Amino acid sequence: MEIGIIYKKEKIAIKNKGMVWVDIIKLSSKDFPHLKKFVLKNYMQIKDKNHFIIDDIDTELPFLLKENEGLVFGIKINGELVAIQAINFNKNDRLNFCKLIDNYNRRDSIMEIGWAMVDKYYQGNGFSIKLMRYLEKEAFQKTQNEICLATVHPHNINSLFVFFKAGYVGYKILQYYGKERIFLLKNVNHEIYIDYHTTVSASNNNFHLPTLPFFQDYVCFNIQKERHEYKFLFAKAINNPTLEHNTN
């Protein structure tokens, strides 16, 4: 069964395969059975299941396939689906995201990007970032909303690296679906500039929420490995177009 409609064809470098033509595709409601099968197959390959929230696969994922609620993009190679990513711009959910991060002045401008899944044989080729950028661009054109939100488990180092590389910064840590998550934000039209002279670090081992410096305009912007542990790097944002705090 053919899945998705072709959004764009690209020739990209893939590890151990050289330059390969891939199809960037847009999925629709009719693709949900194939999409669900792909997600479940790759979910079983994840070592720590706490890193991926799959509870709402039968509710949120088909909802995001609807034209005015979200977008789901994928990558196909030789007709095989090898990666997916989704973005949610449903108006009610956007309002809830604003309330969740205490950012009322943005009203309904926040969209959530998620459901990132890449076949294990194709990981490390930048597929998630590629899909992320297409989704951000397409969603902005549809909605004129420029703030994207992502939630990542604090020990999911690989995903955090991907989001930091894509220009996201960690804003706070909250319980989400009953699980601890770092909330990352990005303004798709304006870069956040970091004052590296203010950099401080905090370990992600023996994780405790109050120990992390999400305060005084500090954001988490990267990770570094020191001996046998990873350190979160925090610094002040010189200009932060991502957030507009409610001062009332």
Which segments of 144-223 does DSSP mark as H helices, in order? Answer: 157-165
Q: Which CATH class is domain 5-239?
A: alpha beta
Give the pLDDT of residue 129.
Answer: 95
What's the rounded Cα separation, in Å, for the pair 239 and 194? 8
Closest CA to 132 of 199, 102, 87: 87
Tokens at residue 25, please?
Answer: 């595709």
Tell me the pLDDT tens digit for each residue of 66-95: 988 999 999 999 999 999 999 998 877 766
Tokens at residue 218, please?
Answer: 């500090």
Conformation bin of residue 37: beta by default, left when phi > 0, alpha when psi is -120 to 50: alpha
Closest CA to 200 of 224, 232, 168: 232
What's the rounded Cα separation, in Å, for the pair 84 and 39? 9
- When pLDDT is averaged across residues 128-138 and rounded to a whole number, the result is 95
| pTM flag (> 0.85) | yes
User: What is the torsion angle, in degrees rounded to the nearest 10, for the CA atoms of residue 147, residue 151, residue 155 and residue 160?
Assistant: -30
Residue 122: pLDDT above 90? yes
> What values do phi and psi take at 183, rounded to 5?
-95, 120
Q: At residue 2, what is the residue type?
A: E
Give the pLDDT of residue 171.
Answer: 84
Higher pLDDT among residues 147 and 205, named by residue:
147
19, β-bridge pairs: 13
| Residues found in the chain | 248
pLDDT band of residue 42 (cuts 50, 70, 90) is: very high
Residue spans per domain, the chain: 5-239
